[in-house]
């Protein structure tokens, strides 16, 4: 597919794109959607509201609690501001997500297998955009990290709970490949992928063809800003934090995560999807 550019040609368009990459930044995987967009999608008029760069859910002014849990009095006074995804890494209930998913939350809850509980924030790393939560009551299956070097062109799967309240509550997956082993400005902490991500995918696992976690979904290129600046519409430019950084953080705080097997076997995509949702959860931010 080719794109047409205004006077100046392809060279100037590429230079403009590079300038945009340097200055506009990247959008979290729960990019802000306008209330009008959500209302239009659902055919409603006034019962949705955004209170942050993340999606907000529920009737205006409602005091929300997860329907599967008896909320505390304190929680009923808070509002569900946004949701992301996360995945369990230990049998003690340690769960990995993105720092921006829980930043500024007065209370964080995790929903898994139709059960919900308040999570304790164990550690955050804003620079790496990582956070570790602990919810012992929801502990069960855990993720296994990959034990080999990834290569561009390898197949990957993104799992998570995007657009909660608009799409299915059961979670969804997208597929793609590894585009590059670095992010913007040669950031070696990131993997660039083509698998589409949506608001709510932040913090979810990026897994390989063996079902092993190789990254944590974190952001995507803001296509609208690039298009407005350069006339170029970039496609499928998304990013995940490398699993290596996750393991380093878990080692620092003494979390006992599952050791990878000596040998992985190739799995069919439906098998991978079935397994990945055994340890992938919804992360809710209340304010």
Annotated catalytic residues are 100, 129, 202
For residue 203, count CB atoms less than 10 angstroms from its CB and return exposed for 0-12, middle for 13-18, buried for 19 or more: buried
For residue 228, count CB atoms less than 10 angstroms from its CB and return exposed for 0-12, middle for 13-18, buried for 19 or more: exposed
CA distances to 5, 150, 196 from 163, in Å: 33, 29, 13
**Beta-carbon neighbour count of residue 247 at 10 Å?**
15
CA distances to 27, 112, 173, 234 from 134, in Å: 26, 13, 25, 37
Question: Rounded CA gap, 102 and 219, in Å?
Answer: 15
Q: Which of helix, strand or coil describes residue 178? A: strand
Q: Which of helix, strand or coil describes residue 255? A: coil
The tokens of 187 are what?
């950031």
Q: ∠ at Cα 181 (199, 214), nearest 5°? A: 60
């Amino acid at each position: 597919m080719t794109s047409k550019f205004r006077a100046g040609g392809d060279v100037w368009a590429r230079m403009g794109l590079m300038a945009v990459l340097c200055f506009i930044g990247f959008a979290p995987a729960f990019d802000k959607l306008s209330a009008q967009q959500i209302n239009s999608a659902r055919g409603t008029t006034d019962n949705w509201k955004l209170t942050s760069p993340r999606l907000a859910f529920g009737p205006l002014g409602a005091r929300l609690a997860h329907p599967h849990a008896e909320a505390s009095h304190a929680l009923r006074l808070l509002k569900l501001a946004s949701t992301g995804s996360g995945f369990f890494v230990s049998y003690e209930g340690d769960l990995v997500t993105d720092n921006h998913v829980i930043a500024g939350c007065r209370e964080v809850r995790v929903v898994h297998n139709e059960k919900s509980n308040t999570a304790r924030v164990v550690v955050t790393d804003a620079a790496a955009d990582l956070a570790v939560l602990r919810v012992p009551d929801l502990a069960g299956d855990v993720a296994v990290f990959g034990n080999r070097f990834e290569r561009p062109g390898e197949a990957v799967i993104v799992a998570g709970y995007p657009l909660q309240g608009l799409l299915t509550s059961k979670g969804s997956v997208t597929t793609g490949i590894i585009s590059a082993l670095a992010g913007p400005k040669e950031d070696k902490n990131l993997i660039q992928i083509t698998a589409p991500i949506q608001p709510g995918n932040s913090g979810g696992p990026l897994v390989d063809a063996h079902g092993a976690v190789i990254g944590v979904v974190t952001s995507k290129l803001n296509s609208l800003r690039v298009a407005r600046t350069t006339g170029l519409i970039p496609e499928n430019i998304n990013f995940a934090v490398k699993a290596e950084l996750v393991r380093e953080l878990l080692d620092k705080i003494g979390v006992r995560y599952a050791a990878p097997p000596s040998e992985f076997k190739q799995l069919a995509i439906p098998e991978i999807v079935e397994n990945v949702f055994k340890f992938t959860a919804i992360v809710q931010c209340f304010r």
